[in-house]
Amino acid sequence: KEFNEAYRPQFHFSPPSQWMNDPNGMVYLDGEYHLFYQYYPDSTIWGPMHWGHAISEDMVHWEHMPVALFPDEFGYIFSGSAVVDHNNTSGLGTSENPAMVAIYTYHDPEGEKAKRDDYQTQGIAYSTDRGRTWTKHENNPILKNPGIKDFRDPKVSWVESNDGTGQWIMALAVLDRISFYSSPNLIDWAHESDFNPSWGAYGGVWECPDLFPLTTADGEVKWVLFVSINPGGPNGGSATQYFIGDFDGSNFNVESNEVKWLDYGADNYAGVTWSNIPKADGRKLMIGWMSNWLYANVVPTENWRSAMTVPRSLELIKKGNDFLVASKPIKELEKLRSSTETVKGENIALREELVELELIPKANDFSIEFSNAANEKVLISKKGDVLTFDRSQSGKMDFSGDFGKIHQAPIANEKIQSIRIFLDRSSLEIFVNGGELVLTEILFPNSPYNKVTLIGFENESKLHYLKSIW
Ligand code: FRU
């Protein structure tokens, strides 16, 4: 099928039709990357949640699959994760054919209506045919609610202990904290600890956590905890903060003591990482939902709503005594390049819609402006220690008073080494210095931007035109 409607992303994942939000259950198995997602197949606005499903061999080209999980007597199927149970700890598969197990939140709309506080619980489902068909577990819900309304988004991973044994660890968003649970078998769970440092960002409810180790280029290992928060993001609405520290199998001990943001753009939310990536690959791969709860339900697309970010590979970088998580576009995206030009001069006519730029700044400050004949434009500019992303004249904006804004991000007051930009039909992603600073933003120009004005860049900068994935 050709997905070619106005604003339909051409190299980002979007659902065939209808509503999508968070990416869920990302897991790799036998040459296939699975992507499940919050899906409402009956409308382009949020409603009773299902898990939609897609499969890819490269995380770039996707095949849409039938809906994987439907609501049942315990409620809607909210966000969660998936693992491959190689040791058959759950007994749901065999060691020759291990089960793929999805761990997700049940949201019971009846309980919500009755104003109970225990209507979010955790359930599991399993597949023994590489994610094609799913069976819900007979003992659902496997983790009951202790009486806290917001109790959701389980992210499960296998954590090895020093003695070579291991256990399943679940990071769960519980109102304003992350609770950690452990299990030997994915079915019985014990509470281990809670994490909610006084200085965290608490502008809204905590959602969609992820906990995983990352290693620096020098071999230093730190544990990273992602926590999405809505609202309270640095540029309004929903955004993802992260913490760096250590996990001892029971407690997350944070080492940094300032809030760090994975992305300063308005449109990267609820992102979490793939599980079961082969050791030989070694990457930590994530994808995020490319929208914001401020306006996700009203963006001007017709048959579907929302797309995912480009997949990113996460890297731990040491800066002095501090650490940061950089997000790099995955290398598989380079396959999309159809032609490459060296950028000369300041005004560049864009002959095609799908563009990647690799820019080398000449001095401390610079600016990049995409525009069309109707004088709709988006301006990205660096001045001193501020990076500004201005979409206040970018095109359609009247669907929400929260959309047409100027966003800002802190940046080093020095010459930047590299800027990489991906422009799709309705999004722009900016990766500064190999992803140390990222801005992901959606846009709705009335006609494609067909000109880019580059001020303050070297002549070796490059422009690639990209192919559609559909
Ligand atoms: C995050 C979120 C999750 C929840 C899901 C519901 O965007 O609110 O906390 O599980 O969306 O669709």
Atom number of ligand 1 nearest to Cα 173: 9
Nearest residue to 37 via CA among 309, 267, 428:
309
- The confidence score (pLDDT) of residue 164 equals 83
Q: Is the CB of 76 under 6 A from ligand 1?
A: no
- The confidence score (pLDDT) of residue 51 equals 99
DSSP per-residue string spanning 379-400: EEEEETTEEEEEEEESS--TT-
**Angstrom distance (rounded) from CA 125 to CA 145:** 18
Two tokens, residue 243 = 């913490």
- The confidence score (pLDDT) of residue 89 equals 98
**Angstrom distance (rounded) from CA 402 to CA 237:** 9
- The confidence score (pLDDT) of residue 1 equals 67
**Beta-carbon-side half-sphere exposure of residue 413 (alpha carbons within 13 Å):** 2
Average pLDDT for 295-319: 98
In the block, tokens 């914001």 appear at: 292
What average pLDDT is seen over the chain? Answer: 97
For 26-43, how does the pLDDT look when each residue is reduced to its tens digit (9 = 90+)?
Answer: 999 999 999 999 999 999
Q: For residue 42, give the DSSP letter.
A: T
Q: Is the CB of 105 under 6 A from ligand 1?
A: yes
What is the bridge-based pairing of β-strands 355-359 and 366-371? Answer: unpaired
- The confidence score (pLDDT) of residue 256 equals 83
Residue 9 has pLDDT above 80, yes or no: yes
The answer for residues whose C-beta is within 8 angstroms of residue 301's C-beta and 6 or more apart is 5, 6, 7, 8, 44, 426
Q: Is the CB of 305 under 6 A from ligand 1?
A: no
The answer for residues whose C-beta is within 8 angstroms of residue 332's C-beta and 6 or more apart is 58, 59, 60, 311
Residue 188 has pLDDT above 80, yes or no: yes
For 245-293, how does the pLDDT look when each residue is reduced to its tens digit (9 = 90+)?
Answer: 999 999 999 998 999 999 999 999 999 999 999 999 999 999 999 999 9
- Domain 332-466 belongs to what topology? Jelly Rolls (2.60.120)
Atom number of ligand 1 nearest to Cα 105: 10
Distance 81 CA to ligand 1 centre (A): 13
Delimit the CATH 2.115.10.20 region(s) of the chain: 18-329
Delimit the CATH 2.60.120.560 region(s) of the chain: 332-466
Does 153 participate in catalysis according to the annotation?
A: no
- The confidence score (pLDDT) of residue 240 equals 98
Atom number of ligand 1 nearest to Cα 207: 9
For 420-442, how does the pLDDT look when each residue is reduced to its tens digit (9 = 90+)?
Answer: 999 999 999 999 999 999 999 99
Question: Which CATH number is correct for 18-329, 1.10.10.10, 3.20.20.70, 2.115.10.20, 2.60.40.1180?
Answer: 2.115.10.20
DSSP per-residue string spanning 302-319: SSEE--BPPPEEEEEEEE
Q: Which residue has a Cα nearest atom 8 of ligand 1?
A: 207
Residue 101 has pLDDT above 80, yes or no: yes
